[in-house]
């Protein structure tokens, strides 16, 4: 996606994102329809393919599972929508049926990351939080004004779960589409675009029964000829250029368990710091209430990383949240060994892993590089665990020896179970 300055233009029948940065006349629209990127589904919510809409919006695929898909892009600068610059644009869908387009504007994660990159003297605490609050308020004010200029006076409604998760966005309706603008002071400013029928339900979705969810999870388990036991159909949520690994990982685990979850809302509930950094315990406590509202529970798992015990979860299709530290040398090696693992002869691979196990003894745990990811499988024959990081599709499956995993583990494992 080009980061050239774009503007939002409301024509009589449709809401369009146009480029370059000039209002196009009706004659120009007729002549150049290929330059229009609609912010409402081109054929309506019922008849639009999410994949086709994402392509029209130049949104890269983030995740595609049997049950849901998502598309997301992070934007540093240069894109102007209704007078404000979105930090990310995402589209979520169920079985290629679009559910919601989300435009995330100023927020404590992406905005702080951008600020720190462009200000070498800035410190991680951002004296500075006042600047983030100001940016959020400014985006909210200009979006409220400009949308109201086009669609009239908004209403206010409740949206989301109870307690701190509850939002009270401004709402505009337009030809079956609801535009919900929310400001959470010091947290984020977001514009959600979704069907009016979904907005009327306040983001509540049908609960999948425990028995149906257990069956679904079990069906997600794949046994490969080489001995891999791996869980498939886990949604990817890319945390982007900020330290949101904990809320991103819990968002993935909740979505997989049939619980609606949002990366930025979980960062709020888990009290994630400006720019990143979250207490796993605080996040777990916040996620527990969300999970309970859909009949799921969060349970702690023995931190010993004992393969037989872990296998009991994986065979049921239950991934585990895992607190660990990133060793940069090991992390690079995990990425490079993906192809090696696929192409290697089984006996040759065991010899390669023997060297990895030996090298694990010299790993020094750096607690400043704390990270949370998912464990999604194992191989008892090779003594490996499968990890999945919230860094995009290319990190959805990597393999680490049990010795390496123990060397970098922080001893915190959890599971969301039906």
Q: How would you class 254 by CB atoms within 10 Å of its CB: exposed for 0-12, middle for 13-18, buried for 19 or more?
A: buried
Residue burial 277-295, b: 16+ Cβ < 10 Å; e: rest:
ebebeebbebbbebbebbe
Per-residue pLDDT at 19: 33
* pLDDT for 36 beyond 70: no
What average pLDDT score do residues 14-36 get?
33
Instruction: Between 399 and 201, name the one with better pLDDT.
Output: 399
Local confidence band at 5 (pLDDT 50, 70, 90 cut-offs): very low
Orientation angle between helical segments 346-359 and 328-343, nearest 10 degrees? 170
Mean pLDDT of the chain: 86
Per-residue pLDDT at 137: 96
Instruction: Between 288 and 117, name the one with better pLDDT.
Output: 288
> CATH 3.90.70.10 in the chain, residues?
210-417
Tens-digit pLDDT profile for residues 270-281 = 888 887 788 788
Q: DSSP string covering 326-383, please?
A: --HHHHHHHHHHHHHHHHS-HHHHHHHHHHHHHHGGG----GGGEEEEEEEEEETTTT
Residue 274, token pair as written in the block: 């400006």
Instruction: Between 22 and 353, name the one with better pLDDT.
Output: 353
Instruction: Between 19 and 199, name the one with better pLDDT.
Output: 199
What stretches of 108-263 adopt beta strand conformation (E)? Answer: 155-156, 170-174, 177-184, 188-195, 221-223, 228-231
Cα three-residue angle 328-333-339, rounded to 5 degrees: 150
What average pLDDT score do residues 304-319 get?
97
Per-residue pLDDT at 270: 86
Per-residue pLDDT at 409: 97
Per-residue pLDDT at 28: 30
Cα three-residue angle 301-261-368, rounded to 5 degrees: 55
Q: What is the CATH number assigned to the segment(s) 210-417? A: 3.90.70.10
Per-residue pLDDT at 123: 44
* pLDDT for 80 beyond 50: yes
What average pLDDT score do residues 220-233 get?
97
Residue burial 350-359, b: 16+ Cβ < 10 Å; e: rest:
eeebeebeeb
Give the sign of the dihedral formed by CA 41, CA 44, CA 45, CA 48: negative
Instruction: Between 180 and 123, name the one with better pLDDT.
Output: 180
Per-residue pLDDT at 122: 43
* pLDDT for 16 beyond 50: no
State the Cα–Cα distance between residues 110 and 132, nearest whole angstrom.
10
Per-residue pLDDT at 114: 56
Instruction: Between 39 and 189, name the one with better pLDDT.
Output: 189
- CB count, 10 Å around CB of 205? 13
Per-residue pLDDT at 342: 87
Per-residue pLDDT at 131: 82
Tens-digit pLDDT profile for residues 84-107 = 999 999 999 998 999 999 999 999
What average pLDDT score do residues 132-146 get?
94
* pLDDT for 39 beyond 90: no
Per-residue pLDDT at 14: 34
């Amino acid at each position: 996606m080009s980061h050239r300055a774009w503007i939002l233009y409301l024509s009589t029948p449709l809401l369009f994102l146009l480029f370059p940065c000039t209002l196009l006349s009706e004659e120009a629209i007729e002549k150049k329809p290929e330059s229009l990127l609609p912010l409402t589904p081109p054929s309506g919510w019922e008849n639009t393919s999410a994949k086709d809409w994402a392509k029209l919006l130049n949104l890269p695929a983030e995740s595609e599972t049997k049950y849901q898909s998502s598309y997301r892009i992070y934007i540093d600068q240069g894109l102007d929508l209704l007078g404000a610059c979105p930090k990310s644009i995402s589209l979520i869908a169920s079985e290629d049926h679009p559910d919601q387009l989300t435009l995330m504007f100023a927020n404590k994660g992406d905005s702080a990351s951008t600020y720190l990159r462009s200000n070498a003297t800035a410190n991680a605490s951002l004296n500075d939080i006042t600047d983030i609050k100001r940016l959020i308020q400014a985006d909210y004010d200009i979006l409220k004004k400009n949308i109201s200029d086009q669609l009239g006076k908004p209403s206010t409604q409740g949206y989301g779960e109870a307690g701190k998760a509850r939002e009270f966005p401004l709402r505009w309706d337009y030809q079956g589409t609801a535009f919900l603008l929310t400001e959470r002071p010091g947290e984020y400013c977001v514009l959600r675009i979704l069907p009016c029928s979904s907005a009327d339900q306040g983001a509540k979705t049908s609960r999948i029964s425990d028995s149906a969810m257990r069956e679904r999870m079990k069906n997600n388990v794949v046994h490969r000829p080489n001995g891999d036991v791996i869980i498939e159909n886990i949604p990817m949520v890319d945390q982007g250029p900020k330290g949101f690994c904990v809320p991103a990982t819990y968002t993935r685990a909740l979505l997989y368990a049939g619980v609606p979850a949002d990366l930025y809302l979980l960062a709020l509930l888990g009290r994630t710091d400006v720019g990143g950094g979250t207490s796993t315990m605080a996040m777990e406590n916040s996620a527990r209430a969300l999970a309970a509202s859909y009949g799921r529970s969060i349970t702690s798992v023995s931190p010993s990383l004992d393969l037989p015990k872990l296998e009991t979860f994986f065979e049921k299709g239950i991934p585990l949240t895992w607190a660990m530290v990133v060793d940069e040398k090991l992390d690079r090696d995990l990425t490079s060994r993906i192809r090696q693992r696929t192409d290697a002869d089984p006996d040759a691979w065991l010899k390669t892993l023997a060297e990895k196990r030996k090298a694990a003894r010299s790993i020094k745990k750096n607690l400043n590089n704390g990270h949370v990811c998912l464990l999604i499988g194992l191989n008892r024959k090779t003594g490996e665990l499968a990890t999945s990081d919230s860094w995009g599709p290319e990190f959805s499956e990597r393999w680490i020896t049990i010795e390496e995993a123990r060397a970098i583990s922080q001893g915190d494992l959890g599971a969301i179970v039906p």
